[in-house]
């Protein structure tokens, strides 16, 4: 495997895979303690950490989360894949939620300031340089880790690439050229940028057109997220991104969403909550398949299927399928 490929080998041995952290530094410290990690990130059983991305935004201290994860990675105790929130920062997409990065306050709907540590110049530089080193996906024979969606074709394309921004811009330009001679409407155009750019697809997942406009995230939309994991079944995959409430179904036996929505805690604080949050941070112990929460509670993962041997797909064929698939839209 290319040492700078955007798809890298996942640690061998026992690991603890951590869901979206979103700046919730206290929850992260608490979770790592319950998992048995020392303050320097070492573990008595030599376990190591893997983060599914979305380290930052929304929560109170994104710079501290990045610093903690970066130091764990630099000491060989952790790996981390890119989430869509890291990518937005890398590519300079300013959102309300990542204003901390540019040193500006995150404002709530009523204009009140959401408490967050803001980045200064040196933090910005450090965070950006660190995000540039992160892969899109990690894989070993029986396990895969990606932020939002595992798609064999898009993974194959990412495997041959080394720079996520170039990869994104290249595919955006290819789609621009195709759309310049197309009479598709704005909704279909948007879906092509989402579903046919491998970076978009892997970091924020597939979307589809709805029959009628639906309300999502406070806006009327004509697109909805596709629950891709319902049709996934050729390797065990752990991902984040979807902020599924605790108690709701988050797997199909093969793919498991580890995002328990700690990134929504800031809305619980707005309502005066300081403890006993319903949104949580979680990690999955692998191969034990035990989910551990930031309050120390544990829950056995119901995933039943176990793979043995090398089942990684025929990547070349998947690349061709992905690239040919673009033509099917025109």
The least distance separating Mn ion from the CB of residue 7, rounded to whole angstroms, comes to 20
Residue number with CB closer to Mn ion (152 or 259): 259
The least distance separating Mn ion from the CB of residue 293, rounded to whole angstroms, comes to 17
Residue number with CB closer to Mn ion (149 or 175): 149
The least distance separating Mn ion from the CB of residue 20, rounded to whole angstroms, comes to 4
Residue number with CB closer to Mn ion (16 or 54): 54
For the CA atoms of the chain, what is the radius of gyration? 19
State the distance between the two ends of the chain, measured CA to CA, in whole angstroms: 34
The least distance separating Mn ion from the CB of residue 29, rounded to whole angstroms, comes to 19
In this structure, are residues 167 and 113 in contact, taking their beta carbons and an 8 Å threshold? Answer: no
3-state secondary structure of 287: coil
Point out the residue whose Cβ comes nearest to Mn ion: 54
For residue 70 the two structure tokens come to 């970066």
Instruction: Please give the distance of CA 132 from its chain centroid, rounded to a whole number.
Output: 15
The least distance separating Mn ion from the CB of residue 259, rounded to whole angstroms, comes to 6
- Among 82, 80, 122, 124, residue whose Cα is nearest residue 99: 124
How buried is residue 323: exposed, middle or buried, by Cβ count under 10 Å (0-12/13-18/19+)?
middle
Phi and psi angles of residue 198, each rounded to the nearest 5 degrees, phi first: -55, -35
**What Å distances lie between residue 56 and 20, 127, 189, 274, 324, CA to CA?**
8, 10, 29, 20, 35
Site residues for Mn ion per CB under 5 A: 20, 54
The least distance separating Mn ion from the CB of residue 142, rounded to whole angstroms, comes to 25
Residue number with CB closer to Mn ion (24 or 54): 54
The least distance separating Mn ion from the CB of residue 240, rounded to whole angstroms, comes to 6
Residue number with CB closer to Mn ion (8 or 88): 88
Residue number with CB closer to Mn ion (54 or 251): 54
What is the 3 state secondary structure string of 170-232?
A: HHHHHHHHHHHCCCCCHHHHHHHHHHCCHHHHHHHCCEEEEEEEEEECCEEEEEEECCHHHHC
Instruction: Work out the widest C-alpha separation in the chain, in whole angstroms.
Output: 61
Rounded to whole angstroms, the Cα distance separating 66 from 48 reads 17
Residue number with CB closer to Mn ion (266 or 322): 266
Residue number with CB closer to Mn ion (251 or 259): 259
The least distance separating Mn ion from the CB of residue 323, rounded to whole angstroms, comes to 29
Which residues does 170 contact at the CB level (< 8 Å), separation at least 6? none
């Amino acid at each position: 495997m290319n040492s700078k490929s955007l798809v890298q080998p996942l640690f061998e041995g026992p690991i603890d895979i951590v869901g979206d952290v979103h700046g919730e530094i206290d929850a992260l410290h608490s979770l790592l303690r319950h998992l048995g990690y020392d303050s320097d990130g070492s573990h008595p059983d030599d376990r190591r950490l893997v983060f599914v991305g979305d380290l930052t935004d929304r929560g109170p201290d994104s710079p501290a989360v990045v610093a903690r994860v970066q130091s764990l990675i630099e000491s060989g105790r952790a790996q981390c894949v890119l989430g869509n929130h890291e990518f937005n920062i890398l590519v300079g997409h300013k959102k309300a939620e990542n204003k901390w990065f540019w040193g500006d306050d995150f404002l709530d709907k009523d204009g009140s300031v959401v408490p967050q540590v803001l980045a200064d110049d040196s933090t910005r530089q450090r965070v950006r340089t660190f995000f540039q080193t992160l892969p899109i996906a990690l894989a070993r024979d029986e396990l895969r880790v990606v932020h939002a969606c595992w798609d064999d074709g898009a993974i194959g394309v990412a495997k041959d690439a080394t720079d996520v921004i170039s990869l994104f811009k290249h595919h955006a330009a290819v789609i621009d050229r195709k759309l310049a001679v197309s009479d598709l409407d704005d909704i279909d155009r948007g879906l092509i940028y989402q579903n046919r750019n491998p970076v978009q697809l892997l970091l924020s997942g597939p979307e589809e057109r709805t029959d009628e406009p639906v309300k999502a995230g406070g806006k009327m939309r004509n697109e909805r997220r596709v629950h891709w994991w319902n049709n996934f079944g050729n390797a065990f995959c752990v991902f984040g991104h979807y902020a599924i409430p605790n108690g709701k179904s988050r797997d199909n036996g093969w793919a498991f969403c580890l995002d328990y929505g700690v990134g929504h805690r800031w809305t619980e604080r707005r309502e005066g909550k300081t403890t006993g949050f319903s949104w949580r941070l979680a990690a999955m112990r692998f191969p034990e398949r035990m989910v551990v929460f930031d309050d120390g509670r544990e829950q056995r993962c119901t995933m039943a299927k176990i793979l043995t041997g090398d089942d990684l797909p025929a990547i070349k064929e998947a690349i061709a399928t992905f690239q040919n698939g673009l033509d099917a839209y025109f």
